[in-house]
């Protein structure tokens, strides 16, 4: 222990002898330290105190600087501080892959120390526009509803928004699991999380053997606010090292930026920074935009950094301050809807509010066709579902729309560890979209046979052949003949025929007839013939019979009615004739 202290003391003295700026601690407020005499100093410069702890400069004032202390022990007024680096840096290296570390780069998985290859600036600047190129390659998420409706391309910035317990972390975990078979390295940053949430994520990654291709950076809820504030920037620095120095495609997940914003707000308020909207500091937008703009695709190595920030939307309010900030920075958003979640659909993706502004450029012709057809089918499904809620009678086409929509949602439903390739997704969607309305499809059986058949598809020429093979295997065997009884809420065939029969037809205007003379026998003409479905009136000299539909006639009246071959309704008048003769 004494040797380590002596080493720290020697390093501290060496920094002073090199002529680095030296200052004195004049104020301590928990982790916020005021130091006088460090000028000239840069923001985010790394500072070392005489006890060996470190901090970085957050604000540069006229006569002092505000330093955020990274140590755990309280500093004392009068202690000496010296500038160690002009920029705050973190340790990076290829050995970080497969490990779980804290914000300072120290291992938390008990697998031994990690030897760094280099250091990288924590608050690095984003690459300029002239060093970037257009995005064109789709990122395989393994989630059918995402890849089929709102795809993401490598290098895109796409936000995941949703209420508490709506499946945001689960969706990000599915994306991480699916990258174990790709060339993409994943950096997963947990910001201000509970221990139970951290253990749940690590358990899923270990069970699926996905941790071998990822780096997990942990910042717990009980650590210093400074660690929570620095966590996303440290994660982005490690991702940039893989992307720019190692020439590897990388994906980073920020889970979640709401906790980061709240920590930054508390730090700013304790630093006496004037609060803005919702008490957040005025540079809250810049803090997130400078972080997310570091993603993209480089022209010199054609490699990408994909950024997925997660943001909490309390009570599904996507118009709040933080969600609108993130949506204006990113290139699209996946919105998790609590109503969809409660309906039992996983992932609970809102197909009406989610959008991707870039993802379509990475799809092929078949995928684009599936996207358009699926969105149209879901729109008609929601419309038919609204009519069904009123309890009204639905047409046959509405029943088909309801059945198709339910089948699509059944295809979209996936467990957290369940992923599908592009070909597997295309086979399922092509069957469901082009399926005949009278077919009976077993989605569970289709998913069981899916992987085996998808391996047989070598090119587009084989697609239809193996799609039909999968469809035949997925049909429900021994399906009974459909009953003639219509489904509940649907008109029967007899009712449809009766409605057509009683439908009023256009009546042609009859030709003019000569006036009748006295004593002439009454003969019905075309104009006096009763309209189909109408009871004829009696002779003018007798009591008038009210016109009513045939369906409304009583049983006694129905016995006096008959219809000839031409469809004309006649009423028997035997009793009336006898009375006239008497």
Q: Which residues are catalytic?
A: 357
| Integer-rounded Cα radius of gyration of the chain | 38
Cα–Cα dist 259/275, whole Å = 17
CA angle centred on 78, ends 73 and 79, rounded to 5°: 50
Extract the tokens encoding 15.
Answer: 């920094």
| Torsion angle (degrees, nearest 10) of CA 36, 41, 45, 48 | -40
- Sign, CA torsion 386/389/391/397: positive
Cα–Cα dist 304/497, whole Å = 64
Residue 330's closest CA among 375, 371, 294? 294
Q: At what angle do helices 463-474 and 422-433 cross, to 10 degrees?
A: 70
| 94: β partners | none
SS (H, E, C) 169-217: HHHHHHHHHHHHHCCCEEEEEEEEECHHHHHHHHHHHHHCCCHHHEEEE
Cβ atoms within 10 Å, residue 26 = 14
Polymer length in residues for the chain: 582
Q: Which residues contact 119 (CB under 8 A, 6 or more apart)?
A: 89, 90, 91, 92
Cβ–Cβ < 8 Å for 314, 322: no
Q: Which residues contact 230 (CB under 8 A, 6 or more apart)?
A: 103, 122
Residue with tokens 């707000």: 265
Q: How far is CA 45 from CA 1, 55, 320, in A?
A: 28, 8, 34
Following DSSP, what letter does each residue of 78-131 receive, concatenated? T-EEEEEESS-EEEE-GGGTT-EEETTS-B-SSS-----SEEEETTPPPPPGGG
> Quick one: DSSP state of residue 348?
-
| 59: β partners | 66
| 401: β partners | none
Cα–Cα dist 255/192, whole Å = 9
Residue with tokens 């022209």: 299
- Which H/E stretch holds residue 332? strand 332-336
Cβ–Cβ < 8 Å for 172, 311: no
Alpha helices in 214-353 (DSSP H): 225-240, 257-270, 284-292, 321-329, 338-342
Residue with tokens 């004037």: 274
């Amino acid at each position: 222990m004494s040797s380590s202290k002596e080493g720290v003391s020697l390093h501290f003295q060496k920094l002073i002898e090199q002529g680095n700026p030296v200052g004195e601690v004049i104020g301590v407020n928990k982790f916020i330290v005021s130091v006088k005499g460090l000028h000239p100093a840069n923001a985010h410069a790394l500072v070392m105190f005489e006890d060996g702890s470190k901090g970085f400069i957050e604000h540069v004032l006229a006569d002092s600087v505000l330093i955020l202390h990274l140590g755990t022990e309280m500093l004392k007024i009068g202690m000496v501080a010296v500038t160690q680096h002009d920029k705050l840096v973190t340790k990076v290296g290829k050995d970080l892959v497969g490990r779980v570390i804290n914000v300072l780069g120290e291992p938390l998985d008990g697998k031994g120390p990690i030897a760094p290859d280099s250091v990288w600036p924590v608050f690095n600047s984003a690459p300029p526009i002239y060093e970037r190129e257009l995005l064109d390659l789709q990122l395989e998420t393994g989630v059918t509803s995402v890849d089929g409706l709102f795809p993401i391309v490598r290098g895109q910035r796409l936000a995941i928004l949703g209420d508490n317990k709506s499946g945001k972390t689960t969706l990000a975990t599915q994306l991480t699991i699916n990258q174990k078979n790709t060339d993409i390295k994943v950096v997963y940053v947990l910001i201000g999380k509970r221990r139970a949430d951290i253990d749940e994520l690590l358990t899923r990654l270990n069970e699926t053997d996905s941790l071998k291709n990822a780096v997990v950076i942990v910042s717990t809820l009980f650590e210093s606010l400074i660690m929570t504030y620095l966590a996303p920037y440290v994660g982005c620095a490690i991702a940039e090292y893989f992307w720019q120095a190692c020439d590897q495609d990388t994906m980073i997940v920020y889970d979640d930026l709401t906790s980061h914003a709240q920590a930054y707000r508390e730090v700013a308020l304790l630093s006496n920074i004037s609060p803005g909207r919702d008490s957040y500091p005025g540079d809250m937008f810049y803090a997130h935009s400078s972080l997310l703009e570091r993603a993209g695709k480089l022209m010199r190595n054609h490699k990408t950094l994909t950024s997925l920030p997660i943001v909490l939307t309390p009570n599904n309010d996507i118009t709040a301050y933080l969600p609108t900030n993130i949506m204006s920075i990113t290139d699209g958003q996946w919105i998790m809807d609590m109503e969809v979640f409660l309906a039992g659909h996983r992932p609970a993706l809102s197909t009406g509010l989610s959008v991707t502004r870039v993802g379509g450029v990475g799809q092929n012709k078949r995928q684009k066709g599936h996207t358009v057809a699926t969105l149209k089918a879901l729109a008609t499904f929601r419309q038919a579902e609204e009519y069904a809620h009123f309890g009204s009678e639905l047409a046959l086409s509405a029943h088909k729309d309801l059945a198709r929509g339910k089948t699509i949602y059944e295809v979209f439903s996936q467990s957290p560890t369940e992923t599908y390739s592009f070909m597997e997704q295309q086979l399922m969607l092509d069957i469901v979209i082009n399926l005949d309305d009278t077919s009976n499809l077993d989605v569970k059986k289709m998913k069981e046979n899916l992987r085996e058949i998808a391996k047989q598809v070598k090119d587009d020429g084989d697609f239809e052949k193996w799609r039909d093979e999968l469809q035949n295997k997925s049909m429900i065997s021994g399906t009974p003949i459909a009953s003639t009884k219509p489904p509940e809420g649907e008109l029967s065939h007899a009712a449809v025929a009766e409605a057509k029969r009683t439908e009023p037809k256009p009546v042609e205007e009859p030709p003019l007839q000569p006036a009748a003379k006295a004593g002439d026998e009454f003969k019905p003409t075309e104009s006096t013939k009763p309209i189909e479905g109408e009871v004829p009136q009696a002779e003018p000299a007798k009591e008038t019979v009210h016109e009513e539909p045939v369906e409304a006639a009583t049983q006694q009246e129905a016995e006096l009615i008959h219809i000839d071959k031409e469809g004309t309704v006649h009423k028997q008048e035997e009793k009336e004739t006898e009375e006239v003769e008497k």
